[in-house]
Structure 1
Amino acid sequence: MRGISGAWRRAAAGAGLLSPEGDAAPTIFAEMSALAAQTGAINLGQGYPDEDGPAVVLEVAREAIANGVNQYPPGRGIPDLLHAIAEHQQRFYGMHLDPGRDVIVTAGATEALAATLLGLIDGPEDEVVVFEPYYDSYAACIALAGATMRTVPLRWPDFQPDLEQLAAAVSDRTRIILVNDPHNPTGAVFAREVLDEIVRLAHQHDAVIVTDEVYEHLTFGVPHVPIATLPGAWARTLTISSAGKTFSTTGWKIGWVSGPADLVTAVLTVKQFLTYVNGSPFQPAIATGLRLGRGFFDGIATTLQGKRDVLVAGLGSAGFDVSIPQGSYFVVADAAGLGATDAAEFCRALPARAGVVAIPLTAFVTPERRAEYATLVRFAACKRVEVLEDAASRLSVLRAG
């Protein structure tokens, strides 16, 4: 029987999911989650919260199901959600969107990204510039679209890109500059000079900027600045976000793409042949969420910052060097001081040693750069405080050992 082949093999290879024999291999996330289940360890590997989102949002979804909102929604998304997204962009960032032309709803940000890359890439001569480490689906989607990936390294401890290296990576072959800000897995929020340089390079080389902003409301003491709001950026920028991280509804898979109508239409052309539509009863619920008061959005950032601080303190006490993130769900720590030389092996041993699961940062980089991140580990802070305190207590055995 034939195994994985064709475009899917390229995608699996791009994501590092082929074994040396060429067979499909499980992700490090699946491996670590299985270890958590087997050992009873606290799973700080995967980035999903262990608390529900706001009750008013959940109640609207329940009411929608009960009232029969269970069939296909319109292809672009229900009009109320399209308007709510446009209102959100206006309220927080001063952006003016036509909800009927400049916005579409997607099956989470991951589908938005896949549809965008498939819709805008012409073939193997096109290049996509990403910042490394990168969210694991980026490499898979770029490979699936048949393009070439170029990476710009983000280095410990602040994970800000070197502007000369960024300029060297972008060329006339660059079709897309893909920006994840706030950044997963490092927790970095890009400095304004980085964003300005991205816009300059996109103009110089006639590239499209695609931004993944799913952590837009989860920054700590620094504002989120969408690239699309910068001078000269709107006409060549597609902005992707989603409800999962903001409203703790990662399983609902409600995302969106916004930007100039011509670029959004290119994404819609592909999206309609992927999921077609999605999440009918969840769409009115997210429309309600996006209209919540400013206090809600400030509150979720403050709450997560407190959780971050609990985790950072616990990691420091356990003997890790810690990079203090400015946003996202995650904290990156260096295990070199605990004797680690291979983050993947360190993480495989960690459940038995300390009863905690984490993810090696090498899972988010190309093979050529793994040595540069060999001792770095990502932990998720998006858990209940008592869970993080328990994890911190468990990790203390590492210093004692």
Structure 2
Amino acid sequence: MPVSRVASRFAGIEESPTYAILDLAAELRARGESILDLNGGEPDFDTPGHITAGGTQALGGGFTHYTPSRGLPALLEAIGDKLLKDNGLSVDPARQVIVTPSAKHALFLSVMTLLGPGDELLIPTPSWVSYPAMARLAGAEPVFAPLSTDNGFRLTRENLEERLTPRTRALLINNPNNPTGNVLTATEAEAVAEVARAHDLFVITDEIYEKVRFRGEHLSIAALPGMADRTLTVNGFSKGYAMTGWRLGYVAAPEDVSAQMLKVQQHTVGCAGSFVQRGGISALTGPQEPVEEMRAAYEARRDLLVEGLSGIPGFVCPSPDAALYAFCDIGGTRFADPAAFTTWLLREAKVAVTPGFAFGPGGERHVRLAFATDPKTLGEAVDRIKTAMERL
């Protein structure tokens, strides 16, 4: 047999399951078809003007060179202030925070620093598609803790503990959750903390949808008793500030862990973009009204989409607490396989959605539809889906 031309670490890593839908959508568009894309989660709003001004002023002033690997001191301070005010976390920004080119890279730093060969990362699912791949790239093994529709995909201590092994090193918690839109309750957050404390585990929390929240209080696990020294808090600017293309995030971690994470940063990307970080300073220290205006618009779009889909026989679409997605159970339709349904829907209704199995065990029978687009498009998508289902 021929010797593989790439490292063995890629053996267990596949391309995202969503790419089949993306490829088919591109093929249909190339034929002139009108495709409505509810597949992705990119805000359709422009970045607020005062943030853009911060970045462009930095560019115009020649601020285009390297920054300290940890990040600009002013941005680190702004992040520290934000964490204290919004999350109840008291950190030393100069020693516990790292600014990264995207929250995704902050997650990668976290996983690469904590995990190695033989370790396991426990991931409650459904969850974001890249978590398992990151664990495998670190040489570790993702272990799934499937949540149930019976209790609305809610975490319990029992559900987590029954998947623990002596090799479990950390838990990865997405709060608010993509794709379900759940916000952790106080009971759930304490269950995570109890498991981590009892079994001496780290917790990585992905809080990128914190500012796109419609119900419930945002609870950062690092703020709970005994959790500051074992929790890595990841956040960023993409969703709340409509800054996806800026690629800007951060991670707050215990000082000893952060020191090792900085090595990964230095030997991979070096630092986040200089003028991009200036935009981040403007985001955190400038007016927050645009964030609330976008959040309110998403809430109205959520209601429009969920109400419309809930009127289609066979669809069960709970109203999400947060994030940018409706996660609908299609088990009541004639389609038992979400992959077959998404392909059929794209061909028959010209609407692109994401099959639930892409988000891991527990996502079966579901599809994810993003409402990060304008109300007119959402209304037309609902009409197309309804018409296609009526033709069956």
* 1:327-351 deviation digits (Å, cap 9, x = unpaired): 1111111223331111011101112
Q: How far 1:2 moved relative to its partner?
A: 6.6
* 1:177-215 deviation digits (Å, cap 9, x = unpaired): 111110111111122112111111111111111100000
Q: How far 1:317 moved relative to its partner?
A: 2.4
* 1:95-142 deviation digits (Å, cap 9, x = unpaired): 222111111111211111111111112321x21111112211111110
Partner of 1:90: 84
CA distance in 2, matches of 1:3, 1:279: 35
Q: How far 1:268 moved relative to its partner?
A: 1.2
What letter matches 2:110 in structure 1?
A: T
Partner of 1:163: 157
CA distance in 2, matches of 1:54, 1:358: 28
What letter matches 1:87 in structure 2?
A: D
Match of 1:386 among 364, 369, 376: 376
Partner of 1:136: 129
376-385 or 91-100: bigger deviation: 91-100
CA distance in 2, matches of 1:52, 1:8: 38
What letter matches 1:147 in structure 2?
A: A
Match of 1:150 among 120, 143, 166: 143
What 5-or-longer segments of structure 1 have no aligned partner? 18-25
Q: How far 1:5 moved relative to its partner?
A: 2.9
Partner of 2:347: 352
* 1:118-173 deviation digits (Å, cap 9, x = unpaired): 1112321x211111122111111101111122211122261112431212123442
Q: 2:18–2:355: 8 Å Cα contact kept in structure 1?
A: no
* 1:7-46 deviation digits (Å, cap 9, x = unpaired): 5414xx24xx1xxxxxxxx433332223333243111111
Partner of 1:376: 366
Match of 1:32 among 8, 18, 21: 21
Partner of 1:49: 43
Partner of 1:22: none
CA distance in 1, matches of 2:364, 2:174: 22
165-174 or 275-284: bigger deviation: 165-174
Is residue 302 from structure 1 mapped to residue 296 from structure 2 by the alignment? yes
Q: How far 1:49 moved relative to its partner?
A: 1.6
CA distance in 2, matches of 1:302, 1:342: 34
CA distance in 2, matches of 1:8, 1:169: 24
Superposed CA RMSD: 1.8
Q: Give TM-score, length-normalised by structure 2.
A: 0.92
Partner of 2:110: 116
Q: What SS does the aligned partner of 2:385 have?
A: helix
CA distance in 2, matches of 1:387, 1:101: 46
Partner of 2:193: 199
Q: 2:9–2:139: 8 Å Cα contact kept in structure 1?
A: no
CA distance in 1, matches of 2:178, 2:66: 32
Residues 28 and 40 of structure 1, relative CA distance in 2, 3 Å threshold: farther
Residues 197 and 171 of structure 1, relative CA distance in 2, 3 Å threshold: farther
What letter matches 2:324 in structure 1?
A: Y
* 1:278-307 deviation digits (Å, cap 9, x = unpaired): 222111111111123454444333221111
Residues 65 and 4 of structure 1, relative CA distance in 2, 3 Å threshold: farther
Match of 2:214 among 205, 214, 220: 220
Q: What SS does the aligned partner of 1:223 have?
A: coil
Using the aligned pairs only, state the percent identity. 31
Q: What SS does the aligned partner of 1:204 have?
A: helix
List aligned pairs for 1:272-311, cutoff 5 A: 272-311=266-305
Is residue 246 from structure 1 mapped to residue 240 from structure 2 by the alignment? yes
Q: What SS does the aligned partner of 2:53 have?
A: helix
What 5-or-longer segments of structure 2 have no aligned partner? none
Aligned residues: 383
CA distance in 1, matches of 2:50, 2:90: 27
Partner of 1:338: 333
Q: 2:157–2:195: 8 Å Cα contact kept in structure 1?
A: no
CA distance in 1, matches of 2:208, 2:5: 31
Residues 2 and 246 of structure 1, relative CA distance in 2, 3 Å threshold: farther
CA distance in 1, matches of 2:83, 2:268: 26
Q: What SS does the aligned partner of 2:332 have?
A: helix
Q: What SS does the aligned partner of 2:244 have?
A: coil
